[in-house]
Amino acid sequence: MALNFIDLFAGCGGLSEGFYRQGFNALAHLEINHAACETLKTRMAHYGYLNPDESVLEYDITMDDTIDRLEKTIKGQSVDIIIGGPPCQSFSSLGRAKDENGMKNDPRNYLFESYVKVLNHFRPKVFVFENVTGLLTATLNGSRIIDRILACLGEKYKVDFNSEKDVLNAANYGVPQIRKRVIIIGVRKDLNLTPRDIYNGITKTHYDPEMKENQKSGLKRYVTVKDAIAELPHLHEGEGSKTVVFSSRRDNDFLKTIVPEGQNILMDHVSRHHNPMDVQRYMAMAENHWTFEELLEKRADLRHEKKRVFGNSYVVQWWDAPARTIIAHLYKDGNQFIHPDASQGRTLTVREAARLQSFPDDFVFEGPRTEQYKQIGNAVPPLFAEAIAKSIKKNLEEE
């Protein structure tokens, strides 16, 4: 019997994708962004759902009739799991640094309350609440937001969150990217199961570059940028087409996982246009293995006219390591995601960013390119989500 889930703050469906891959059944997705909703509908159709237009609710979760709308959508079916991660800009350390009030007045601080309201109404067996690590240090009126969230989630659920253990890194689950996220798992109090059982079942498969030798035992080496994107067609800035005929070599475990057999179309591998000065910066940094500071020091001719340019404003993603955390800022510019091949002199395409997030090659991102980048940067990597889904499925089946 398939387990049913609802996805709140669904984005383009990275978390859902992991659950789909483990055979879970989606009852509803709730998301406010239009392009992300179109992506969710396209993906539901891909999986053979007949009612994507009804199941994807393009709606503001804070509205009073949210629960009525969800009830109407799921038509009395039982909800086994609720998943989701409220938008995290207000919790992120970057967001707080940019806002003179430290994001204190940001309404997004309270979106978790809408999550809890839906959770306590439907009373699923298990929930997954995903967020950025900045959540651990964010405060509101002098108290830590995380404590308040855990207290609210814990009213009707067993919650056993440990900030040492339960900040998980996507790189440990086969994603070619360092991405650390807070994962809070809750189990309904009447069940003979604990959150720790589920955490213990989220099995690391790969070691990451920060691990000590004694932690690597039995784990595979992390997946690198090279493993994920080196085979993709060579592009210069401004080149590429919306779809091209392309067959992956599928010559490593990662590619076998994310490229469906027989897939011979490559979507959204199109480079942005860059100004000539930036192209030179990208090429010099990639060729010499430089940081941006080293570039400024060694190539005065490539200095930036803007005074406020930080050391991490331009970053090359190196071939032999996982990528740094893919962020939604990609939609503004790709300077923090420079391609490691100096001869290409450009930033990452939508498809490259999608692969570094472990989205399968047949995953269609709807909307203009800026929206596609935003969706990818905000998503939970599907392979990471799948590791969580796998443990929940195993534990609920045993229960």
Instruction: Say what the pLDDT of residue 88 is.
Output: 57
Q: Tell me, what's the pLDDT at 304?
A: 78
* pLDDT of 87 over the 90 cut: no
- Give, for 168, the enclosing helix (H) or strand (E): strand 167-169
CB 17 within 8 A of CB 6: no
> Amino acid identity of 51?
N
φ, ψ of residue 267 to 5 degrees: the values are -105, 145
Strand pairing partners for 81?
5, 126
Catalytic annotation, pick one of 12, 37, 88, 152: 88
The reported pTM is 0.94
The per-residue pLDDT for range 327-348, each reduced to its tens digit, is 999 999 999 999 999 999 999 9
In angstroms, the CA 92 to CA 207 distance is: 26
Using DSSP, state whether 221 is helix, strand or coil.
coil
Q: What was the pLDDT predicted at 92? A: 44
* Structure tokens, 179: 């991405």
Tokens of 108: 């997004």
- Averaged pLDDT for residues 127-156: 92
pLDDT reported for residue 96: 39
Q: How confident is the model at residue 97 (pLDDT cuts 50, 70, 90)?
A: very low
Q: What does the alpha-carbon distance between residue 384 and residue 377 come to, in Å, rounded to a whole number? A: 14
Mean pLDDT of 51-67: 96
pLDDT score at 377? 97
Whether residue 88 lies in the annotated active site: yes
Residue range 59-69: average pLDDT?
A: 95
pLDDT of residue 107 exceeding 60: no
Element (H, E) at 184: strand 180-188
Q: What's the chain's average pLDDT?
A: 93
If 0-12 CB within 10 Å is exposed, 13-18 middle and 19+ buried, where does residue 271 land?
buried
* pLDDT over 90 at 100, yes or no: no
Q: What's the rounded Cα separation, in Å, for the pair 15 and 105? A: 28
Tens of pLDDT, residue by residue over 359-370, are: 999 999 999 999
pLDDT band at 272 (very low <50, low <70, confident <90, very high): very high
Q: How far apart are CA 23 and CA 26, in angstroms?
A: 10
| Cβ atoms of 254 and 225 closer than 8 Å | no
The proportion of the chain whose per-residue pLDDT surpasses 90, expressed as a percent, equals: 87
User: Can you give the pLDDT at residue 16?
Assistant: 98
User: Mean pLDDT across the stretch 119-130?
Assistant: 98
Other beta carbons within 10 Å of 277: 13
Span 28-53, mean pLDDT?
98
Q: What is the pLDDT of residue 89?
A: 52
**Residue 208: what are its φ and ψ, rounded to 5°?**
-115, 170
Q: How far apart are CA 270 and CA 350, in angstroms?
A: 7
27, two tokens: 């009852």
Q: pLDDT confidence of 94, banded at 50, 70, 90?
A: very low
Res 95 pLDDT > 90: no
Residues 233, 25: Cα–Cα separation, whole Å: 36
Residue 323 CB-half CA count within 13 A? 29
